[in-house]
Chain A
Amino acid sequence: MATRALIVDDHPSFRRFARKLLESAGCEVVGDAADGAAAIAAVRELGPDLVLLDVLLPDMTGFDVAEEIAAGGNRPLIVLTSSRTASDFGSLLRTDHAKTFISKRDLTLAALAALASEAA
């Protein structure tokens, strides 16, 4: 069974391409969300295996969203991503609730495929 993925990002064009990329990596994209609140609701409703989560959302940060998701019942594999690099976030990146951080610049098919198989 394919890995069920959720995309959380406020940029529609990114969501569109990320969906195609994840699908190419062998995932089934079960939904997407444009902000933190919608993301939390979608996780509760859809129970995805993998969440591609943007750090800078309009209503809250991806770190907060990851914490909220972890506090709920679902334990999906959370991958934080951002157009900024890890050094832009410094100590904030040390979060217990996310699996890893991948800068959007380094978001490749191969990397996603590896994560997808881990989440499945």
Chain B
Amino acid sequence: MRAVRLLVWLAGSALCVGMARAVGPVDQPDLIKHRAIVYFATAFVGLTIGVLVWERRPDSRTGLLLTALPFVEVLSQARWIFWNHALPVTIGFASMSLYAPVFAHLILSYPTGRLTTRLDRVFVAVVYAYATTSALLFLLFFDTRAPHDRYEIECWDCALPLTHVAWRDVHRASHVLDLTLLVVAPAFIGLLIRKLLRATPGGRRIELPLSIAAFAAVAQLLAHFALNGSPDSPWTDTPWFWISIVVSLAVPLSLGVGLFFGRRARSAVADLVVELQRTPPGHVQEALARTLGDPSLELALWLPDQASYVDSRGAKVELPAAGPHRAVTVLGSSDSPVAALLHDPALLERPGLLEAAAAAARLALENERLQAELRAQLSELRASRARIVQAGDDERRRLERNLHDGAQQRLLSLGLALQLARAELGAEANGASSLLVEAEDELRAALDELRELARGIHPAILTDQGLGAAVRSLAERSSVPVRIVSLPGERLDESTEAASYFLVSESLANCAKYAHASTVRVSIARRNGNAVVDIDDNGVGGADATRGSGLRGLSDRVQALDGTFLLESPVGGGTHVHAEIPCAS
């Protein structure tokens, strides 16, 4: 393919040089000869840029179309430079009208080289049809020797096209065809604006320079038509000649600017390498977004353990299906991806850039991935801790219920039976009766112990009436006087209520056992989505959460719910328990 492009470039260059030189011997004023050199040099520049773009993006049709454009220009001039040779005249007429459709095709299909919408395809097809019709009219019926008032000078030794059939006056028909340009050109402008509006921001940035050049070209055509009644500007008209040269150069040059920006982006990759050294973990996405010029870029890191993508916070990410507004590029090999970039499809027009940036970011990405993995594991761990606490609470609740419904009920019935037995015996059986009284006392003690046990496992009042009532009931039973400062009036979620309750219950028990306190203050308040629990006594202090399993277990329970636990117990300064537990409801 490279050889084909080289051949095309050589052939095109030879054509430009040959045609420019051919103007020399022709009996023309020097002005025309000089302008011929400028004209063909312009075509040569267009040809060279076209082949370079073609070389860089061989799979896109843009390079091919850009290369075709100067060919069409140059060849169409053959009809007057070699006016007395039939073949060049034929080629000249054949290529004369092709400029417009190739131009429209190039602009509307940039940068992918594909016409993406149906309307674009129809439009380009119509312009090709127009050009073909126009060319056929001239190839079949035009005769340079016939008297024509506008198109060519009368020329008695001009060659006829090889395809000439008979003379017809094509002047009027071609005039009509010229007028259709007046319709086609605004339609083209409309399609171009529509294309720009539909483009993603990144795509628009790429398309804008060429679009401006295209607008200029169409404006020049329409202006010349309006002022002179013909779309083609002759070489003798100084301002129009130079304007047409500038416009002809603008199209390939604006495409070249895109290439230049591609280079600039590569140096941005070099900046990225430096920047990533200073990028803290979790910010590689921003660095990549800046380098690639796509603020919408998202980074999804592959976690092999979970066989899924996560973002930098460790949350799962589903890769979207590629569409007109979102593209996905997987970095690394397909069987062991490192990460995926979710980005503006316009970046696909610069695949080298994406790869270069990804290669530069590889180490940082690896690091980022480890961080994300850690975070994902951490959040999984946290969730599982919370689940364990929840499961424990559920189990305690079930146990309490079972004790209440089972053993406790049977013992209560037994107590009633003993009472009845005592009543049946009456006053006569004194010995047996007092034995029964003892049995009843024993039974009552057993029931009390069982009830305490059940309450310690999970108090029914907490399940049925919530934290406020449960803590009030704790306070009533406490041997140290309790002053309740505040309690939540509403229900909180089960885990928060259970953790808060056991925090108060354990603290009150410790206070009664060790603190020698005369009063203890309990406060539970909702603040910023947390249940804030404070238990302060005025005892001897010196409690240590790391010793003894009671407070230690509570600290673990609070942390499992993502809360914080703080114990302050200076010797002689009382004991202060402070905990904040997130509560959803």
Chain B binder among A27-35, A37-45, A71-79, A100-108: A100-108
The CB with the most chain B CB atoms within 10 A, among A17, A21, A91, A109, is that of A17
Q: Say if the beta carbon of B464 comes within 8 Å of chain A.
A: yes
| Residue of A11, A88, A90 touching B413 (CB-CB under 8 A) | A11
Count of chain B residues with Cβ under 8 Å from any Cβ of A?
Answer: 28
Q: Say if the beta carbon of B316 comes within 8 Å of chain A.
A: no
Q: Is the CB of B444 within 8 A of A90?
A: no
* Bound CA–CA A48/B444 (angstroms): 30
* Bound CA–CA A94/B121 (angstroms): 83
Q: Is the CB of B420 within 8 A of A20?
A: yes
Q: Is the CB of A107 within 8 A of B416?
A: yes
* Bound CA–CA A85/B469 (angstroms): 14
> Known contacts A90-B461, A90-B473; is A21 also within 8 Å of B404 by CB?
no
Q: Say if the beta carbon of B314 comes within 8 Å of chain A.
A: no
- A21 to chain B: closest residue by CB: B416
Q: Is the CB of A18 within 8 A of B469?
A: no
A62 to chain B, nearest CB (A): 12
* Bound CA–CA A108/B415 (angstroms): 9
B451 to chain A, nearest CB (A): 7
* Bound CA–CA A17/B410 (angstroms): 11
Interface of B is mostly: helix
| Residue of A20, A85, A105 touching B415 (CB-CB under 8 A) | A105
In B403-442, the 8 Å CB interface with A consists of 404, 408-410, 412-413, 415-417, 419-420, 423
Q: Residues of B contacting A20 with CB < 8 Å? A: 416, 420
Q: Is the CB of B473 within 8 A of A87?
A: yes
B445 to chain A, nearest CB (A): 10
A79 to chain B, nearest CB (A): 15
B345 to chain A, nearest CB (A): 62
Q: Is the CB of B460 within 8 A of A24?
A: no
Q: Say if the beta carbon of B258 comes within 8 Å of chain A.
A: no
* Bound CA–CA A3/B461 (angstroms): 34
Q: Is the CB of A14 within 8 A of B404?
A: no
Q: Is the CB of B415 within 8 A of A13?
A: no
| Binary flags per residue of B216-236, CB closer than 8 Å to A gives 1, else 0 | 000000000000000000000
17 contacts between A and B (CB under 8 A): A11-B413, A13-B410, A14-B409, A14-B416, A17-B416, A18-B416, A24-B423, A87-B476, A88-B459, A90-B461, A90-B469, A92-B464, A92-B465, A104-B412, A104-B415, A107-B415, A109-B419
Which residues of A approach B to under 8 Å, CB–CB? 11, 13-14, 16-18, 20-21, 24, 56, 83-85, 87-92, 104-105, 107-109
